[in-house]
Chain A
């Protein structure tokens, strides 16, 4: 032991130190619980819906190597499984982008949906749908079905970057500026989308209405596979940011002094947010509030340490989105609600509750 503090700690040795409430252990237990819950919700989601597939019959059929009924097989493998995969991907992507963005902006209210990143990504996606045919033919064939997700990524990236530039001065991020810039970005995207809707033809218009509300209904393996690489990359990058985001809570300068390459962390965080949000928006439209509610609940439960917050957010985001999807499917069955409406109805009150309950006044 260093002798520097020997005398001082000698004095405090007598005082009995209470056992430390280590939230890291609880957070790791929560990871296990969430993983198990995700499994349960997935099974439940696979077996609920308009066409009644019995879970036990399907399972026993599969286990005993019997052929599934053709209809069951189509429903299961071509409709429900891609929908499940998309729900997990999108839920995890939205929750993790929310958590990363909040860490980056040092603010629990930063969320890609609220500050206009989703709007920027959506605008880019709409532009790609309506005006994609104007691109050089070689580029079109080269990008193929990745055109829309890639555009959404670029749109999300540009808006995150713009937002960070506008709202951060000398290492301090102003919440007011961030929210106002978000409103401006949202309005701009809305107006531009309006113009594009005028130009769009009928089939494009059908694609476009889907952006307005957000839905998992159009899930196909094709969509899942185009978004998978981008979202997977972002989700893999996120935990590597954990240490940097923790240190950023001290402020940019102090984070640098504890040895964090701040600029690199910020760039990676912005790319991860843009990638995950962009890809999620590209395949499912604008689904709100997952990015703000999930990290907030987890911080209440196990604290703000990003080492556990980020993986837990991915799991809880997936669980909540699958749950919302099931609600969307049963409320007005056999028709279904767009999932964006469900997350808004459930998420907006939680968001207001966060504002009411916040412990520290926001520095505006």
Chain B
């Protein structure tokens, strides 16, 4: 794949305080695919995302669509990639619509002022535009942030170049229905040529929605590949320090939910 359609990080070393958190991480994500970063707590997923977005100082290089991000101005970067933080509080009593509109100030989509409303509808917050952000539940706030991020890079491809969504645990505090809403959005974005990088904790959702999986542990990338390649009994058991059997049904008396079964149900109902 040509470098014009990738996000590439080479030899990323980052320190927080005195400690080196990332030890020369190499990482590539391709546009048109959903790349999930998974790993135990403290393995460096958020730190890697913050290094890639230039939030923290780091060694190594990051290129986006073949361009060195250090040579791009904030507004140029903002036009091609949007970042959803792991958590966010807002200082003043802004409404949901006003927060979502903050995404408009940057991207090329600035011309179309109906986008914030459409983005809110896309994340299932159609009637929420006039509500106060501070009065929403945690999961609703998280979806407002996603709507803002979507607003910023609404078109997955702009003049032949892919745009990028960088999401830190986008489904962490969402109910199962909205987890699907959000992951479907991510899939759709990639299907139309955009790039999506998401830090994930839910391995089931990762298996369902990701094209590529990057498994991190202790500030290193352990393996990278398709879900089938990465999500194996032995790799997971080693990384997470507990048995995580793949494709195994539990003993009869425990109820279990397999989101993957959704595909069957959908085809049956048609």
Contact = CB atoms under 8 A, between A and B. Distances in A.
Q: Do A and B bind each other?
A: yes
Interface stretch (A9-17, A31-39, A116-124, A331-339): A9-17
A18 B55 contact: no
Count chain B CB atoms within 10 A of each CB in A2, A260, A305 and give the residue with the most. Answer: A2
A262 to B, nearest CB: 8
B199 interface: no
Contacts of A12: 121, 126
B122 A5 contact: yes
Contact of A257 (B82, B97, B98): B82
Interface stretch (A43-51, A227-235, A244-252): A244-252
Interface in A72-88: none
A246 B93 CA distance: 11
Given A8-B185, A256-B74, A21 B130 contact: yes
A246 B185 CA distance: 27
A247 B98 CA distance: 10
Interface stretch (B59-67, B149-157, B241-249): B149-157
B218 to A, nearest CB: 23
A84 B123 CA distance: 53
B192 interface: yes
Interface in A1-30: 1-5, 7-9, 12, 15, 17-18, 20-21, 23
Interface string A302-329: 0111000000000000000000000000
Interface residues of A, number: 41
A304 B194 CA distance: 33
Interface residues of B, number: 54
- Tell me if A's interface is mostly helix, strand, loop or mixed: loop
Given A249-B94, A253-B85, A304-B93, A8 B121 contact: yes
A303 B98 contact: yes
Contacts, number: 129
B106 A259 contact: yes
Interface string A216-248: 000000000000000000000000000100111
A17 B53 CA distance: 36
A254 interface: yes
A260 B134 CA distance: 23
A266 interface: no
A163 to B, nearest CB: 17
A243 B101 CA distance: 11
A1 B102 CA distance: 20
Nearest to B191: A4
Given A21-B130, A256-B74, A359-B93, A2 B156 contact: yes
Contacts of B119: 5
B83 A8 contact: no
B95 A249 contact: no
B189 interface: yes
Contact of B181 (A8, A257, A359, A360): A8
A247 B185 contact: no
A246 B102 contact: yes
Given A5-B188, A20-B130, A257-B82, A304 B121 contact: no
A241 to B, nearest CB: 13
A258 B90 contact: no
B113 to A, nearest CB: 11
Interface string B67-105: 000000111111101110100111111110111001101
Contact of B155 (A2, A7, A8): A2
A359 B92 contact: no
B156 A304 contact: no
Contact of B189 (A4, A108, A243): A4
B73 A249 contact: no
Contacts of B189: 4
Interface in B15-67: 50, 53-55
Contact of A259 (B54, B75, B93, B194): B75
Given A2-B154, A23-B95, A299-B93, A259 B78 contact: yes
Contact of B90 (A2, A249, A261): A249
A107 interface: yes
B127 interface: yes
Contacts of A15: 126-127
Interface of B: 50, 53-55, 73-79, 81-83, 85, 88-95, 97-99, 102-103, 105-107, 117-119, 121-122, 124, 126-127, 129-130, 134, 150, 152, 154-156, 181, 184-185, 188-189, 192, 194
20 contacts: A2-B154, A4-B192, A5-B118, A9-B121, A12-B126, A18-B130, A20-B129, A21-B95, A250-B99, A250-B102, A257-B78, A257-B82, A258-B103, A258-B152, A259-B76, A259-B105, A303-B93, A304-B94, A359-B93, A363-B89
